[in-house]
Amino acid sequence: MREEVMFTSESVTEGHPDKLCDQISDAVVDQFLIQDPYARIRVECAVSSAILFIAANFASIAKVDLAHAARKIIKQIGYDQLDFNPSGCSILTAPKALPIDKSYAFSTQALTDAEIDRIPAKNQVTLFGFACNQSPMLMPLPIYLAHHLARQLAEVRKQLILPYLSPDGKVQVGITYRDGLPYRVHSVTVTAHQLEIRKPGIRALRSDIREAVILPVLEREGMPVNRRTRIHVNPDGLHLGGPTLHSGLSGRKNAIDTYGEYSRHSGKALSGKDPMRIDRIGAYAARHAAKNIVAAGLADQCEVMLSYSIGQTKPVSLQVSTYGTGKIPDNALSQMAVRHFDFRLAGILKRFDLRRLPASRPGGFFRQLAAYGHFGRTDLDLPWEATDKAEALEGEI
């Protein structure tokens, strides 16, 4: 008898208060790096009702208006209601300038291998990168579909297909797995918030979301709804949503930012940190390695674990796990990862050119990662999503 299990993952729209805070934090990071690619910056953000708080520690020659950056994001996301809007929101800022350390002002692309080996990590963390062959972007299917549904929920509001929606919303997707492989969509739950309570009523809302959001996305992704699919739209009724309903805090949606709890993640926030933070960019390097291993056909799923210690250049531990799906032993894949990928802090910076990406991308770079996940994106050209090492890895076996 075949074994069936069901696994769920959640995604939220960019108007969710937690994601609002992440985007503001990363927008501030972008603004510092656009002016000063050597900036060191750490940003935390919290919002509740009509009050937004931003704390920022930075060492930089850049001049950034924290409140202005926040109001710009609030407007772009679409909050323009009486109780929460970019002009009426009270913003409290706590900026703290730190001494500039000139040792960080190095030209990343000009670094030699010996110089890279002398630039240590300044943080300690154990982090994970993951990939599997469940979706076109080699992401777990539950989070992959949840992100697409959340984006569609935002798009029907922006395109005025469902103009009564507010920017806040969330999605949960359940996938039935049979013998470890995704078999069908078990359930979809959407909670859509409205600008005005009872407009429209619950029956109209449920019909609209089903027809404009759920059915088009699942059909496009080749997972159409059938009689066994359970669809729930606002199962607990109507909501206004936004910061007036529930508070937000940066770094509180780590599972949504990574793999939807299908794989492990470090628990460290990804947003609000400059690229010298190994707990951010190490996660990108680990994903790059895991994705290339799967893309090379060496495993059906792959987790790359990296552990860093303060003052050490290289990871103090590196492990590759394929959960029995590897074509060669995991220890051999670990050795291949060491040969083909540079997991040193400055090596990651050089490979992905992370300190200069905000100035080269319209509207910044890191802010775009702060909603709908840092991995498996179909709308962004992310350097760690490239499968440029797959051919070389495949050629070793």
Q: Do 161 and 218 fall within a single domain? A: yes
What confidence tens digit (pLDDT) does each residue in 340-370 have?
A: 999 999 999 999 999 999 999 888 899 999 9
**pTM of this structure:** 0.95
254 lies in a domain? no
State both tokens at 243: 């910061």
What confidence tens digit (pLDDT) does each residue in 102-161 have?
A: 888 888 888 999 999 999 999 999 999 999 999 999 999 999 999 999 999 999 999 999
**pLDDT interval class at 2 (50, 70, 90):** low
Q: Do 120 and 145 fall within a single domain? A: no
Q: Which domain holds residue 295?
A: 116-134+262-394
What confidence tens digit (pLDDT) does each residue in 276-312 have?
A: 999 999 999 999 999 999 999 999 999 999 999 999 9
Distant-in-sequence, close-in-space partners of 289: CB < 8 Å, separation ≥ 6: 129, 304, 320, 337, 340, 341, 343, 389
173 lies in a domain? yes
Distant-in-sequence, close-in-space partners of 14: CB < 8 Å, separation ≥ 6: 20, 23, 77, 154, 167, 371, 372
Which of 197, 213, 242 represents a domain boundary (last residue)? 242
pLDDT of residue 21: 97
CB contact at 8 A, 258 and 103: no
State both tokens at 380: 């962004």
233 lies in a domain? yes
Q: Do 282 and 307 fall within a single domain? A: yes
Q: Do 121 and 168 fall within a single domain? A: no
Minimal CA–CA distance to 70: which of 25, 105, 124, 37? Answer: 25
111 lies in a domain? no
- Rg (C-alpha) for the chain, rounded Å, is 22
State both tokens at 397: 């076996």
Which CATH number is 175's domain given? 3.30.300.10
The count of domains in the chain is 3
Amino acid occupying residue 57: N
253 lies in a domain? no
354 lies in a domain? yes
